Amino acid sequence: MNNNLFGVVLLFLAMAVVSRLMALPQIHRLNKQLVKIRKSGPVSSVGLARHWKGNRAYVLVTDEEGNIICGYKTSGNFVFSGFREDHELRERNYREIIEDLGKKKKLSQLEKAKCMAAEYLEDGFKKQKQADAA
C-alpha cells in the first residue's frame, strides 16, 4: 500500500515539474509579444483577470490624450495562448471603456481585464496631470 501511494505522489510531482517546464517557453513568448505591443504606441496599459478556468489579459495602446490606437487580447489556452489584436474594439477613448463596462452588471473575464487596463490608463493620466501641474 505504501509503495503504491509513494508511486502516485511521485507521479504527481513529476507531472507538476513537467508542467512548469513546459510553461517557461510560453511565458518567454508572451513577454516578447508584450514588449513588442507596448512599443507600438506612446502609452500602453495591461489589465489582467484571473479565474480558475484561466487568466485573461488585455493590452490598450493609446496616444498621449487617451485615444485608443489599438487593443490586444489573449486568445487560446495553455501553451497555445497569445496576444491577438481585438478587431471588435468599438471604443475610441479609454474613458468610453470605463463608462460602457461600468454600466454592465456582470462582466466576462476579458471585459474585466479590458476595464482594468482602462482604469490603469486613467490613473496614469491623472498622475501625469498632477506632475505637470506641480
Q: In the chain, where are the structural domains located?
A: 2-133
User: Is 58 exposed, middle or buried (CB count within 10 Å of its CB: 0-12, 13-18, 19+)?
Assistant: buried
Answer yes or no: are the C-beta atoms of 65 and 121 closer than 8 Å.
no
Residue pLDDT, tens place only, 112-129: 999 999 999 999 888 888
Q: What is the mean pLDDT of residues 63-72?
A: 92
> Chain centroid to CA 128: how far?
23
Residue 70: the pLDDT is 93
Predicted model pTM: 0.79
First-to-last C-alpha distance (Å) of the chain: 72
Q: How far is it, in rounded angstroms, from Cα 43 to Cα 45? A: 7
How many C-beta atoms surround the C-beta of residue 115 within 10 A? 21
Q: What is the mean pLDDT of residues 18-27?
A: 82
